[in-house]
Structure 1
Amino acid sequence: PGGAGGTQGRPSHRLSIDENGPVALAAQVHSDGFRAALVGLGGRIVATAPGKVTVSADPAQVLGAVVGAGAALLAETGRRCVGAGLAVPSAVAEPDGT
């Protein structure tokens, strides 16, 4: 049997990301500290804060430290922040995933 003759669709638009453009603040909190980074919209890490910083058990203090580290990175790089993400460790119960 012969294959169906198809045609190529409309070409995709190509996007380019300005490497010097805005960034997102990404942070990960651990039991023994946190790490913060500025990530360009293309996925390149622009700057990072120290990996080992003692953190308090108080979530508000931890978040304040992360925000402070992010603000310092933004001041150092002169970049504009357009978003943020925070990863925190948590136990996951099986099998329901909560």
Structure 2
Amino acid sequence: MQACPAFSTSTQVGDDHEARRTFTILATNFAGKSSVLFRQKTAVHEKASGKHVPAYDQYTTAALIQQGDHVIQVYIEKDAANLAKQLSAKAVARLCAAITC
């Protein structure tokens, strides 16, 4: 993950717009040694002019945490890194109580 802390991709939206998605790693090892927190930003641009249309911007924050054979996914449909970290810590505590980490 350190070799590629961010990447982008584009897809067509309708005939005259393009959605550019950028994924950025915000933190690793924050909820155990196998955890990653990342943000996805979707920005829409007009194809002809390349002009950014901010009204269509969307953010998603996600955390993936592995504990042994179990994986926890925290998914929030807004830019909320601190909230994702808090929910991840609670999820790990509950999982560990259930499986005896």
TM normalised by structure 1 equals: 0.39
TM normalised by structure 2 equals: 0.38
